[in-house]
Amino acid sequence: MTLKEQLDLEVAYRNKECELSLDKPDPLLVARTCEDEFSMLLCALFAYGNAKLIVQFLQSLDFSLLNESEERIQKELQGKYYRFQNEADIQNIFIALRRLKQEQSLETIFYKAYSKEQSVLEGIDALIAAIRSVSEYESQGYNFLLSKAMKRDKFHQIKTVGNAPYKRWNMFLRWMVRKDCLDLGFWTKVESKDLILPLDTHTFHVSRHLGLLERKTYDLHSAVLVTEKLKEFDAQDPVKYDFALYRIGQEKIY
């Protein structure tokens, strides 16, 4: 059996709603219950660390606060914290997204930048810039949560070497663009073929073990290389393999 055949079987087995449960926690479990893209982005941004603890934290959040006053947000989120984010970090990401939500949609911001060269990296960078533009708040925890602007070369092109994988942002895009039993497909103008694998430590090690990646550095360039390899298996939807690769790594069955 070829590697493609093996991975296609894993996708058929894994890409099912039953793969999302409290017994098999994943942030998408909470994101699927959300009503708008801003709440789903919050689910993606906080999706780091232990999967069970991520889900527990996300379930404790009141996403309807994105429609409330800033004073209400500050009051209701008093004492709330998660790993690298303290109370002020969480209050301010809610406030920033609330402000942006009143101005325009995330899809509009993303598509304007993405559509110039079909670049999801440009779209991600535009979203980060837009969120930062509505709030002057900064801290170490907040910067980690939101991510910094992508590094660029002297021609102003986004560098893949030297940039982090932007795993949580690429995962958010997977949720919003792809449409199947797992992913939501809310954004209809972005093409699945342009997505980049949300490379985390699980998919990084699995990809190296399976021969999808030879590079030893965990960065954006490796994410792009794995995606290009997966395009050999499905040029129109390479990121459909992400969830299966993640579960293989999480369950240590490779």
pLDDT in tens, 34-50: 989 999 999 999 999 99
- How is the chain split among helix, strand and coil, in percent rounded to 5? 55, 0, 40
Residues in the chain: 254
* Cα 165 to Cα 199: distance, rounded to the nearest angstrom: 6
Q: What is the pLDDT of residue 250?
A: 81
* Cα 65 to Cα 73: distance, rounded to the nearest angstrom: 6
- Kindly report, residue by residue over 111-160, the tens digit of the pLDDT: 999 999 999 999 999 999 999 999 999 999 999 999 999 999 999 999 99
**DSSP element (H, E) containing 106:** helix 106-114
Dig out the tokens for 45 from the structure: 């941004």
* Cα 87 to Cα 206: distance, rounded to the nearest angstrom: 35
Residues ≥6 apart with Cβ < 8 Å to 5:
none
DSSP 241: G
Quote the domain boundaries for residue 91.
3-250
* Structural domain count, the chain: 1
Residue whose pair of structure tokens reads 């960078």 in the numeric block = 125
Evaluate whether 48 touches 83 at the Cβ level (below 8 Å).
Answer: yes
pLDDT beyond 80 at 94: yes
- Kindly report, residue by residue over 236-247, the tens digit of the pLDDT: 999 999 999 988
Per DSSP, the three-state class of 118 is coil
Residue whose pair of structure tokens reads 């550095």 in the numeric block = 217
Q: How many CB atoms lie within 10 A of CB 206?
A: 23
- Kindly report, residue by residue over 177-187, the tens digit of the pLDDT: 999 999 999 99
